[in-house]
Amino acid sequence: MSEEAYKRVRTARNNDRPTGQDYIRNIFKGFIEFHGDRRYADDPAVIGGIARLDGTPVTVIAIEKGHTAKERTFRNFGAPNPEGYRKALRLMEQAEKFGRPVICFIDTSGAFCGIGAEERGQGQAIAENLMRMSTLCVPVISILIGEGGSGGALALAVADRVWMLRNAVYSVISPEGCASILWKDPEKAETAAASLKLTAEDALSLGVIERILSEKEIGTNAFYDRIRGLLKEETDALAQDADLVGKRYERFRKIGAGAVMKETI
């Protein structure tokens, strides 16, 4: 049981898994990448632009880890700086203006922990995304494809639908970080992984996600075709909903409410 959760963490981190770019390239047609946050820089850890989903224009945003050592260094191992979150938000505002659905692919160990990131307001950048995404009038679907590391992942996941690949993980802290803070022992990461309830099944049962995506034939055309079909179906359905913002509010509003005792003990 406890082995299984940590096994998922290791699988989610595997360099051979498809990365954000692979999903963009194989699911959409004619992706046009747009760079920069218009405030400070372009963050290579976040890729964004517009593309066609079965003919429909959509805004696509992905956290990219890269495959080779060189790519991974260039992408900062998929750990975004504030510029990455601000670029994502800029593209979402653009999607809002032109009425395009937003589709996000998330794969990060977390927002980058660096001196510059703090100087440029990592916390503020994430907070602004959380706030603004809660009232976007266009459909938003976020898919966790590998690691879903804390606030750095959530900053692209205030969505109408959040899906997870079977072996993706979603957690408030890394199991190693949790073990070292709570038990002063990073070796207890396995226990921490199980306790944190970070697997796709856990997230589904906690009401944090709506759907688990099978990893059958992962990386093949059949795999991407299946995800494209689901995305198309869901964006079309969401686009018909006149109360997307209200429902998105309720979606998050209810999470954890059941975990709170309201009577006096």
Instruction: Give residues in contact with another protein (CB under 8 A).
Output: 111-115, 117-124, 126-128, 130-132, 134-135, 150-151, 154-155, 157-158, 170-173, 177-178, 181-182, 191, 195-198, 202-203, 206, 208, 248-249, 252-253, 255-265
Smallest distance from the beta carbon of 28 to another protein, in angstroms? 26
Among 33, 37, 36, smallest CA distance to 21 is for: 33
Name beta bridge partners: 144: 106, 164
Smallest distance from the beta carbon of 177 to another protein, in angstroms? 8
* Closer Cβ to another protein, 133 or 227, answer by number: 133
What sign does the CA torsion over 91, 96, 97, 99 have? positive
Q: Dump the DSSP string for 27-66.
A: HSEEEEE----SSS---TTEEEEEEEETTEEEEEEEE---
* Closer Cβ to another protein, 242 or 265, answer by number: 265
Smallest distance from the beta carbon of 57 to another protein, in angstroms? 27
Smallest distance from the beta carbon of 136 to another protein, in angstroms? 11
* Closer Cβ to another protein, 50 or 111, answer by number: 111
Smallest distance from the beta carbon of 151 to another protein, in angstroms? 4
Smallest distance from the beta carbon of 140 to another protein, in angstroms? 12
Element at 103 (helix H, strand E): strand 102-108
* Closer Cβ to another protein, 2 or 220, answer by number: 2
Contact status, residue 251 vs residue 142, Cβ threshold 8 Å:
no
Which residue do the tokens 């059949």 mark?
Answer: 222
* Closer Cβ to another protein, 164 or 218, answer by number: 164
List phi, psi (to 5°) of 142. Answer: -120, 135
- Residue 132 tokens, joined: 């603004």
* Closer Cβ to another protein, 18 or 149, answer by number: 149
Contact status, residue 168 vs residue 144, Cβ threshold 8 Å:
yes
d(CA 53, CA 56): 5
Which residue do the tokens 């191992």 mark?
Answer: 77
